Chains A and B, each alone.
Chain A
Amino acid sequence: MKLLAHPISAVVIGASAGGVEALLALLPRLPIDYPYPVIVVLHLSEREDSVLPRLFAARTAMPVIEARDKQPVRAGTIHFAPAGYHLLVERDRHFALSIDAPEHYSRPSIDVLFESAADAWGEHLAGVLLTGANEDGAAGLATIAARGGLALVQSPDEAVIATMPQAAIDTMTPHAVLTLAELTRTLCALAGKEPL
């Protein structure tokens, strides 16, 4: 399946309710030599200092870290947004954090990550929107597509909560609507890899 005429350089993923399980089905299958940075916003309670990097590091082949302010985006690494902060990517591909107001009641917000990443990588970005109970991420995914990047959405039939992927399908035209297994294969294929 050829979705884009040009190569990508980075992957951003957004998920909300049901997202931990969805990400556990996806991220552990990316091979250790997966070449691109993978940047993830998962909605969690603001009060929880993010437990995600530790949770996932034990299960993924790729290294996992919490994204840090003013630090460069690392190739071949999974980055999680810290709880309670928006995560943005600067055009020079460094991270920036913000405590601006929540968007769609969410901080970190998927739109904030996706839209800044679209500025940073343009057509060389793949965005993936997974299960969730609100509409965060639809606008961000539309921006990624508008800049020539790849917009992928989890099939609402498969999602634990269909609202978030459905919002994207209703407001834009994703390149593909796929199951988690298909999404995993697609992300690997973009890098010329096979899923674990």
Chain B
Amino acid sequence: MSFDPRLYPERDFEIELRLLIEAIYLKYNYDFRNYSPASLKRRVQHALVQLQCDTVSALQDRVIHSQQHFSDLVQFLTVPVSEMFRDPAYFRALREQVLPVLATYPSLKIWIAGCSTGEEVYSLAILLHEEGLLERSLIYATDINPRSLQRAEDGIYPVGQVQRFTSNYQAAGGKRAFSDYYTAAYGSAIFDRQLKKQMTFADHSLATDAVFTETQLISCRNVLIYFNRALQDRAFGLFRDSLCHRGFLGLGSKETVQFSAHADDFETLTRQERIFRKR
């Protein structure tokens, strides 16, 4: 027998999923308990097929007794999907409306929360470089998935994606040839080491960790859609506490702080590009 979502009793799946998530929390302190259930279910279904498990309980058995299996499962639970300059209008708005304000600070700290495999970190570094701000910036890029963080730090992407990255870069108001920023070799695009100098990669969970530094800009895009309301509120609280007075918060194109418990702590800078500013 192999896993078939249509033959799997729905109630069993629900019970076993809760047990799995609780087991992961107790054993590894990874807290998926307040993730949006529908997406989580789909990701676990996908993991069952790919990891060749017949039941969620069988998966739990493996995961609880093997760090390696847990690490494999995390790759499915956190599904890294990203591209450089995704939503070019967002980066254009950062360039035109946020960076001129940030340029008035002697030094900058920027937090990319849920950076996944790093595409957005390099995008932002390029933006800062072109606006003459990279040298005085520190970029903290955080994620809960150590393998994603490692790939982010490596800054090496399949060359097949570069065409898309390039058109995004141009649409985002890029000022140079995008090829200035990477070297193509062996089917990969290796991004310029100079971009990495100001980056720090760290394990940080919006579900369980606290604020670690004061920042002027936080970018957290398409992370909060995977959280339930309670966890979204926790994350917005962290962002408010981390941001300096009048600091900026950038979200994904379908995310907003407006309906959260912290709506009053922020004002909208650009509605379409989802950039908010701490009051």
Which residues of A pack against B, CB within 8 Å?
A: 49, 68-71, 82, 84-86, 88-91, 96-101, 112, 115-116, 119, 142-143, 146-147
Q: With A and B bound together, what is the CA distance between A115 and B42 in angstroms?
A: 9
Nearest residue, chain B, Cβ from A71: B259
Q: With A and B bound together, what is the CA distance between A87 and B36 in angstroms?
A: 12
**Chain B residues with Cβ under 8 A from A147's Cβ?**
10
**Chain A residues with Cβ under 8 A from B39's Cβ?**
86, 88, 96, 98, 100
Contact A146 B6 (CB under 8 A): yes
Number of A-B residue pairs, CB cutoff 8 Å, is 61
Nearest residue, chain B, Cβ from A69: B225
Encode contact with A along B33-58: 1 for CB under 8 Å, 0 otherwise.
00011110111000000000000000
| Chain B min CB distance to A141 (Å) | 11
Q: With A and B bound together, what is the CA distance between A116 and B13 in angstroms?
A: 13
**Chain B residues with Cβ under 8 A from A98's Cβ?**
36, 39, 42, 225-226
Contact B254 A100 (CB under 8 A): no
Q: With A and B bound together, what is the CA distance between A14 and B232 in angstroms?
A: 30
Nearest residue, chain A, Cβ from B46: A100
Contact B254 A88 (CB under 8 A): no
Chain A CB within 8 A of B79 CB? yes
Contact A100 B232 (CB under 8 A): no
Contact B38 A100 (CB under 8 A): no
Nearest residue, chain A, Cβ from B222: A99
Q: What are 5 A-B contacts with C-beta separation under 8 Å?
A: A70-B259, A98-B39, A100-B39, A101-B81, A116-B38
Which residues of B pack against A, CB within 8 Å?
A: 5-6, 10, 36-39, 41-43, 79, 81, 222, 225-226, 228-229, 232, 252-255, 259
Contact A96 B225 (CB under 8 A): yes
Asked, given contacts A119-B38, A146-B6, A147-B10, whether A68 binds B254 with beta carbons under 8 Å apart, the answer is yes
Partner of A119, one of B41, B43, B253: B41
**Chain B residues with Cβ under 8 A from A69's Cβ?**
225, 254-255
Contact B225 A119 (CB under 8 A): no
**Chain A residues with Cβ under 8 A from B229's Cβ?**
70
Nearest residue, chain A, Cβ from B168: A47
Partner of B5, one of A49, A71, A101, A143: A143
**Chain A residues with Cβ under 8 A from B222's Cβ?**
99
Give me 17 other A-B pairs in contact (C-beta within 8 A), A96-B36, A119-B41 excluded.
Answer: A49-B253, A69-B225, A70-B259, A71-B259, A85-B254, A86-B39, A88-B38, A88-B39, A90-B36, A90-B37, A98-B36, A100-B43, A101-B81, A115-B42, A119-B10, A119-B38, A143-B5
| Chain B min CB distance to A149 (Å) | 12
Contact A70 B232 (CB under 8 A): yes
Contact B38 A90 (CB under 8 A): yes
Q: With A and B bound together, what is the CA distance between A42 and B94 in angstroms?
A: 31
Nearest residue, chain A, Cβ from B259: A70
| Chain B min CB distance to A36 (Å) | 20
Contact B225 A97 (CB under 8 A): yes
Contact A142 B255 (CB under 8 A): no
**Chain A residues with Cβ under 8 A from B254's Cβ?**
68-69, 82, 85, 97
Contact B10 A142 (CB under 8 A): no
**Chain A residues with Cβ under 8 A from B255's Cβ?**
69
Contact A143 B225 (CB under 8 A): no
Partner of B42, one of A49, A70, A97, A100: A100
Q: With A and B bound together, what is the CA distance between A82 and B81 in angstroms?
A: 17
Nearest residue, chain B, Cβ from A68: B254
Partner of A89, one of B6, B38, B225: B38
| Chain B min CB distance to A151 (Å) | 12
Shortest 6 CB-CB contacts between residues of A and residues of B: A88-B38, A96-B36, A116-B38, A97-B225, A98-B39, A146-B6
Q: With A and B bound together, what is the CA distance between A147 and B225 in angstroms?
A: 27
